[in-house]
Amino acid sequence: MILVSGRSLEQGLGKEASKFSKRYIDATTVCQIDPEDMRKLNIGDGGSVRISSQYGSVVVKAVKSKYAPHPGVIFMAYGPWVNSLTGPETHGTGMPSFKGLEVEVEPVEVAEGSQREG
Amino acid sequence: MNVIRNVLCPFCGCCCDDLEVEVDSNRIVNVRNACALGRGKFLSIGEHRLLKPLVRVNGELVETDLDKAIEKAVEIVKDSSYPVFYGFGCTSCEAIKLCLEMADLLGGLADNISVVCHGPTILGLQDMGIPSATLGQVRHRADLIIYWGCNPVEAHPRHMLRYGPLSNGRFVAGRKNRRMVVVDVRRTSTAAMADVFIQVKPNSDFEVLTALRALVNDLDLEVEEVGGVPVGKLEELADMMVNAKFGALFFGLGLTMSYGKEHNVESAIALVRDLNKKTKFIMIPMRGHFNVTGANEVFTWQTGYPFCVDFSMGYPRYNPGETSAIDVMARGDCDLLFVVGADPCSHLPRQIVEKLKNVKLIVLDPAVTPTVKMADVAIPVAYVGIEAGGTAYRMDGVPLRLKKIIDPPPGVLSDVDVLNQILRRLK
């Protein structure tokens, strides 16, 4: 799958509430996935997924994308969680690749009450 | 109750300057005309405040007084052999100027957050030039507005109303007299408002822009689709562009952060240049933080370069990829990161943040952020544009005045005052 990170309204509002607020954490620990991809990967709406890139891995909440269809593309709002997946290489530009990153997505079971990994 | 009018919003690069802020006993009680993001900033400044200076003692952050925190910061700066000054998207031009003076004095490096947003735009325009305009010209004249790789409904909520398709210009007024196109990898909330939505495959912007250039130059494409877009759809867009009286291309990080980076921007500039042989067309980057454009401006006045400036040779040197903050941190070359108006620990790749465990970290910030939690010295400062005045540059390069509308909490100074105190002790 291809991971795109970006701004979202909730992330922007959460940022102003505090980077430690529930609103910010909720906004930045969610992955928006095309509903058809969720069906193929057996991922339930609101379930947990592990997203892995060559640089790291996080477990976040999966939700059906309201901007579908975008098969093969997942979205996460800017924040520490998605940045666990981006790499440090800038290829001579100074800019890491925050969008268009190749990742693997798989459903995982998370015990109730446990925190998501990041 | 006092109503302060024509207040500049210190949130995004739109720098909306028509806000009305109601103040009662040095407390903001209401904000009119702002979007949800701007309103959220004005109304939540008291909620997550850094109120006391912090210094790290035996691994723990402990509260101290301002003088001791500044003394500790000066001590760390003096001990540093290669300090990096970074941030500046959320501060005033006046504060940025002082940080550049410090970087020059110490032979360090200064970089701003454009390195992780529109840095590739700068690289592209340095190669190609950029046919641009002010947002006022777009508002009054544009009959075709394209948003490429950006989602203003969520990131710049008043852009479309003040400067874009919904604005009431003198010569072109309202949505019905303008065409609106969105190019993106997802059908975003902005795309839902467009006349035409073009969905490109991720990392395919360069190909799509190049195909559009061919079509604008009356060449045929002997393929069915480019970058996931049927050629018929691209022909429709090329016709719209050529037939516009005044076209405006607003582009975001969809171009600069994906594969191709500065080459995507160069391709977009080449397209707009070609369009100007047939009609009037301009382009403006959608800048995120309210003064990231100002950071580029001040860096350029002071050093000749808009970002990634190294002073270690005794003169300003510029080589993004080598003298960029990210690359310097990745190589482990710096021993101090001095942050003003940014939160790198939230916004840089984790592998870079982990490198910061091995460097000293000084932060000036109004709020408690992940970067403050990692700092060796954290000094609270006033919110620029709310508790301190100054100058900011809008995304189109227009300088505007930030207002001080209330006093900061007792004992909290502006970042300009704190930086002046540090600089005075360094000289």
Mean pLDDT (chain B, rounded): 97
Q: Which of A43-47, A106-110, B33-37, B222-226 has the lowest mean pLDDT?
A: A106-110
Question: Taking the model in full, what pTM does it have?
Answer: 0.96
Residue A111 pLDDT class (50, 70, 90 cuts)? low
Nearest to B371 by CA among B382, B383, B360: B360
pLDDT confidence tier of residue A116, bands split at 50, 70 and 90: low
Chain-chain contact of B345 with A21 (C-beta, under 8 angstroms): no
Distance CA B426, CA B107 (A): 13
Q: CA-to-CA distance for B171 and B288, rounded, in angstroms?
A: 28
Q: Which residues of A11-32 are buried (b: 16+ CB within 10 A; e: fewer)?
A: bbbbbbbbbebebbbebbbbbb
**A73 phi and psi angles, rounded to 5 deg:** -120, 130
pLDDT above 90 (res B1): no
Phi, psi of A88 (to 5 degrees): -85, -10
* pLDDT tens column, B207-221: 999 999 999 999 999
Which is it for strands B144-148 and B246-251: parallel, antiparallel or unpaired? parallel
Chain A CA closest to residue B118: A95
**Does A35 score more than 90 pLDDT?**
yes
Mean pLDDT throughout B389-393?
Answer: 98
- Three-class secondary structure assignment of chain B: CEEEEEECCCCECCCCCCEEEEEECCEEEEEECCCHHHHHHHHCCCCCECCCCEEEECCEEEECCHHHHHHHHHHHHHHCCCEEEEECCCCCHHHHHHHHHHHHHHCCEEEEHHHHCCHHHHHHHHHHCCCCCCHHHHHHHCCEEEEECCCHHHHCCCHHHHCCCCCECCCCECHHHCEEEEEECCCCCCHHHCCEEEECCCCCHHHHHHHHHHHHCCCCCCCCEECCEEHHHHHHHHHHHHHCCEEEEEECHHHHCCCCCHHHHHHHHHHHHHHCCCCEEEEEECCCECCHHHHHHHHHHHHCCCCCEECCCCCCEECCCCCCHHHHHHHCCCCEEEEECCCHHHHCCHHHHHHHHHCEEEEEECECCHHHHHCCEEEEECCECCCECEEEECCCCCEEEECCCCCCCCCCECHHHHHHHHHHHHC
Tell me, what's the ipTM?
0.93
Across the interface, whether the CB atoms of B349 and A88 are under 8 A apart is answered: yes
pLDDT score, position B66:
98
Provide mean pLDDT across the span A29-49: 97
pLDDT of residue B228: 97
State the pLDDT at residue A109. Answer: 86
pLDDT above 60 (res B7): yes
Determine what percent of chain B is predicted with pLDDT higher than 90.
98
Tell me whether residues B261 and A94 touch, CB distance under 8 A. no
Domains along the sequence of chain A with CATH: 2-108 (2.40.40.20)
Task: Look at residue A14 and give its three-state secondary structure.
Answer: helix
Question: Cα separation of B367 and A19, whole Å?
Answer: 9
Q: Look at residue A80 in the predicted model and tell me its pLDDT.
A: 96
Whether the pLDDT of residue A22 is over 60: the answer is yes
Residues B108-135: tens digit of each pLDDT: 999 999 999 999 999 999 999 999 999 9
B chain contacts of residue A83, beta-carbon cutoff 8 Å: 346-350, 353
Pairing label, strands B377-380, B390-393: unpaired
Tokens of B21: 């802020």
B95's tokens: 């504060």
Q: In which band, very low, low, confident or very high, does the pLDDT at B145 lie, cut at 50, 70 and 90?
A: very high
Chain A contact present for B254, CB below 8 A: yes
pLDDT, tens digit (0-9, with 9 covering 90-100), for B39-60 = 999 999 988 999 999 999 999 9
Contact B248, B284 (CB under 8 A): yes
* Residue B194 scores a pLDDT above 70: yes
pLDDT band at B318 (very low <50, low <70, confident <90, very high): very high
B287: contact with A, CB 8 A cutoff? no
Q: What is the mean pLDDT of residues A66-84?
A: 96
| B contact test, residue of A3, A8, A16 with most B CBs within 10 A | A16
Range B194-210 average pLDDT: 98
Query: Which pLDDT does position B47 carry in this prediction?
Result: 86
pLDDT value at A113 more than 80 = no
Give pLDDT, residue A7: 93
Instruction: Enumerate domains of chain B plus CATH numbers.
Output: 2-43 (no CATH), 54-116+290-426 (3.40.50.740), 119-285 (3.40.228.10)
Q: Which residues lie closer than 8 Å to A32 by C-beta, 6 or more apart? A: A63, A64, A65, A66, A67, A74, A75, A76
Q: HSE (CB half, 13 Å, CA atoms) of B196?
A: 22
- The CB-side HSE value for B199 (13 A sphere, CA atoms) comes to 12
Phi, psi of B223 (to 5 degrees): -135, 165
Question: Could you give the percent of chain B with pLDDT greater than 70?
Answer: 100
Question: Is the predicted pLDDT of residue B272 greater than 70, yes or no?
Answer: yes
Report, as an integer, the average pLDDT of B10-28.
97
> What pLDDT is recorded for position A112?
57
pLDDT in tens, A87-96: 999 999 999 9
Rounded to an integer, what distance in angstroms lies between the CA atom of residue B340 and that of residue B87?
Answer: 5
**Nearest chain B CA: its distance from A61 CA (Å):** 19
**pLDDT the model gives residue A110:** 75
Q: Is B262 on the interface with A (CB under 8 A)?
A: yes
Which residues in chain B have their CB less than 8 angstroms from residue A93's CB? 119-120, 123, 261-262, 320-321, 324
Q: Is the pLDDT at A117 greater than 90, yes or no?
A: no
